[in-house]
Each structure stands twice: as C-alpha cells, then as structure tokens.
A = this chain, B = another copy of it.
Amino acid sequence: MRIADLPTPSLLLDLPKLRRNLAAMATAAARHGVSLRPHLKTAKSVEVARLATEGQAGGITVSTLAEARAFAEAGFRDQIYAVGITPQKLDAVASLNARGADVKVITDDLDVAEAIAAHPGRLGALIEVDAGEHRGGIAPDDARLVAIAQRLGTRFAGLLAHAGHSCAGRSVAELAAIAEAERAGLVAAAARVRAAGLEVPIVSMGSSPTALHAERLEGITELRAGVYMFGDLLQCQIHTSALEHIAVSVLASVIGRRPEQNRLLLDAGALALSKDRSTEAAPEDYGFGLVVDLEGRPSLGRAIIRRTWQEHAVVESDRPLPFERLPVGAKLRVLPNHACLTAAAYPAYHVLDGGDEVVAVWQRVNYW
C-alpha cells in the first residue's frame, strides 16, 4: 500500500528519520560512557523499542502498566516504570516480576516505601529526586531521602531524576545548565545515601534536551529520554530536533476549501492531532501543527493549523495555498507540536522506509 491509499487521518512513521534520531542519542550517551534507557512513553511500540535499545544495555523506561506488561511480554525484562507508584499498583508490577520481568518502580514517599518493603512479591524501587521542576521527587537535601532509602532496604535500587522543565529551556547553554543541575542534584543525593551505608546501583537522569546537551555526566549511570526518537515542533525549537528530522506525521485529507480566505479544512482535528499547544510559548508558534506536502516537504509555506474541532482543522498559510492542486480529497501531512500526545491518538504506525510505500504497520500500546 502507498501513502496515498491510506485512510485519513493516519499516523506515519519515517524509518530513516527514526534511525537517524536513535543514532544521535546513542552517540550522545556513548560520548559520556553511560548507557541509554530509552523511554517508550512516546513510541509505545515493541518494534521501536527493539531499534532504540540496539547497542544499549537493553533496559527501557515505561510510563504505564500497560506498557510494562506489553514490553515484558515482548522480552524487555529490565524496566523502570517512571511514574510515582501507588501501593495499589504494586501487585500488578510484582505479578510481571514473578513471570521473569524486572520492573522497577519509583517513589518519593515514606509510606509507599513501607508498602514496597512489606510487599510479598519481588520488587525493586528507585527514589525520585526533584531536579528542579518541582513536579515529583524529593530535594537532594531533604531529610526523608535517606529515610526512604532505609525503609526500602534491600529493595532500594537507586535514584532517578527528570528535568522536565528543560522543555522550557531556549538556548543550548541553558539546557546544559539544567542538565548539570539535574546531574549535580542526583550526585549529591547519591552521596548522602551512600554515606548512610547503602549502595546506589542506578543513578538515572534524563529528558531528551538534557540528555543531548549535558556537558558532563560524572556520577550518572544511565540516561532516559523518549521524544528524541520522533522529534516534534517544540523539540525543533529547543535544539533537540529539526524539521527534516521529525519522524512522525499525521496524514490528512482536505475536506473543505475557502480560496477567498486562503484557508483549507482538514480531517485531522483535535482528536487526530491532540490539543497540545506546546509551541504557544516557543519562539515560533505552530498553532496545532505545521502542514507539509505528501512528501513531507514544507512546500506550502508556513501553513499552520490555526484551529481545531473534534474532527476538523483549519489551515492558514503566509503564502497563497495551491488550491489548484488541493481538491477535496487531496492528502497532506501535519507535523506535530508534541509527538507523544499526537501519536497517542492512533492504534498503530504506518511505517515508511524512505519512499511512499507503507512497509509495515506497528501497533502501539495505548491506554493504561
């Protein structure tokens, strides 16, 4: 099947771009001598996970129990489930571990550490350290850090931080500084835990921007990152991607034309693109996405999705749109603001290998 024969909206994945992005991150990790634990929250695909772990230690990061289950079934034993765990979810994790997996959980809470320690199943846990974003995690100098590690006892597997605020960074220097704060916080936390007599096997940091732009990683054992695999319009503006490297796009059809207003209507709306507005505060605001042609080239000018409804999107451009080539039914592609959210709208990827032929369909592990 060729792209032009696919129903719309559909999700496309350019394999050569994916491979290029994976290689760039592998190089960044190798430069520091740390291993890469790819975060599968973006791709949620076993096939992508296999490519992303090539040449790495093999461990992965997941964001849902559904991912943990699917990847464990596919043979990915070493996982970190990197969303603060609740006691109620421990049975599900222990059940995977009883069947041979090694899914580690994370926490920043004394009572949860107690529940982990008391659980009859096999469990390992990392403590989440707040690297400056103040979403989850405890500060490196928080008195509870050592107490939680001690409470976890033999189940304590290490420390983890995520500098999610790196997505608000604008310059490479700023990203490097955020990465260094993330690293330094983790290293300080690890020193405190070690001083209390505990081993800290894993010291895990990462976000795509800090993983790519860290200047040094002494004391860190592994990098986690996810969105780098696909890239998106926000990542292009924070120096971790470029328009020509964005590996996922949404195939859409023209369903309305208003030449007098230089506007098109597409059938990729709020559900097909997500309502993510990550680029709103970025140097370049791409609305709900950038429209490119069927070959993926930005030949329509700055053609932006200005507004979305559930199944409709309005496109406007800074140059006259080629209406003569765009009858109702013509197909275009939309590059996403935020690849993680846009991809989540689809059950599968239609994989392209440099041409216009769909060479594979890769399922996603959606929901929870």
A270 within 8 A of partner (CB): yes
A236 within 8 A of partner (CB): no
Q: Is the interface of A mostly helix, strand, loop or mixed?
A: loop
Q: Identify the closest chain B residue to A135 (Cβ).
A: B312
For A271, list chain B residues within 8 Å (CB): 341, 344
For A83, list chain B residues within 8 Å (CB): 255, 267, 311-312
Chain A residues bordering chain B, tally (CB within 8 A): 57
Q: Is the CB of A136 within 8 A of B41?
A: no
For A277, list chain B residues within 8 Å (CB): 275, 277
A276 to B341, CA, bound (A): 12
Q: Which residues between 120 and 158 of chain A lie within 8 Å of chain B, taking CB atoms?
A: 134-136
Q: Is the CB of B63 within 8 A of A311?
A: yes
Q: Is the CB of A88 within 8 A of B329?
A: yes
A86 within 8 A of partner (CB): yes
A219 within 8 A of partner (CB): no
For A254, list chain B residues within 8 Å (CB): 86
Q: Is the CB of B265 within 8 A of A84?
A: yes
A357 within 8 A of partner (CB): no
Which of the listed residues A107, A309, A314 has the most CB atoms from chain B within 10 Å of its own CB? A309
Chain A window 333-353, contacts with chain B (Cβ cutoff 8 Å), 1 for yes, 0 for no: 000000011001111000000
A sample of 21 cross-chain residue pairs with beta-carbon separation below 8 angstroms, ordered by A number, consists of A7-B368, A83-B255, A83-B311, A84-B255, A84-B328, A85-B255, A86-B267, A88-B253, A88-B329, A109-B257, A111-B328, A112-B328, A112-B329, A135-B312, A136-B265, A270-B276, A272-B368, A275-B275, A275-B341, A310-B340, A345-B367
Q: Which 4 A-B pairs have the closest CB atoms?
A: A84-B255, A86-B329, A275-B275, A136-B256
